[in-house]
């Protein structure tokens, strides 16, 4: 990533951020706590996630909601057909 490139204007810097992570950039900049959770898979086996965002200082709420989602839709033992990392035992 070239975020620290001195040739960037504000517009080109924002464009670069939004090219890489259009759904997370706003919260990285604002400082709001956010989390992305792997709640499902498409028919083709691609992961489908949900992003949750909370108010400033409400990480506690975000983690509680994420924990409830994990209980309702467990993802610990799910693994796509192709992945990077060690296989689960």
Same domain as 70, residue 45: yes
62 lies in a domain?
A: yes
pLDDT tens-digit series, residues 65-74? 999 999 998 8
2 lies in the same domain as 36: no
Domain shared by 54 and 71, yes or no: yes
Instruction: Kindly state whether residue 86 falls inside one of the protein's structural domains.
Output: no
Q: Is the pLDDT of residue 88 over 70?
A: no
Q: 55 and 20 in one domain?
A: no
SS3 65: helix
Average pLDDT, the chain: 84
Q: Report yes or no on 14 lying in a domain.
A: yes
pLDDT score recorded for residue 1: 64
Residue 80 has pLDDT above 80, yes or no: no
Q: What percent of the chain has pLDDT over 70?
A: 91
The closest of 73, 45, 5 to 15, measured between CA atoms, is: 5
- Cα separation of 39 and 49, whole Å? 5
What are the CB-based long-range contacts (under 8 Å, 24+) for 80-85? 80/41, 80/45, 80/46, 80/47, 81/45
Q: Which domain holds residue 16?
A: 1-30
Pick the residue with more confidence: 28 or 30? 30
Judged against a pLDDT cut of 70, whether residue 12 lies above it is answered with yes
What is the rounded distance in angstroms from the CA atom of residue 63 to the CA atom of residue 69? 10
């Amino acid at each position: 990533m070239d975020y620290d490139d001195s040739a960037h204007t504000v517009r080109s810097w924002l464009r670069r951020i939004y090219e890489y992570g259009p759904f997370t950039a706003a919260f990285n900049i604002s400082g709001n706590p956010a989390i992305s959770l792997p709640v499902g898979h498409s028919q083709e086996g691609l992961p489908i996630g949900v992003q949750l965002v909370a108010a400033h200082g409400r990480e506690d709420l975000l983690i509680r909601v994420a924990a409830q989602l994990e209980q309702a839709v467990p993802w610990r033992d799910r693994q796509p057909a192709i992945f990077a990392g060690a296989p689960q035992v």
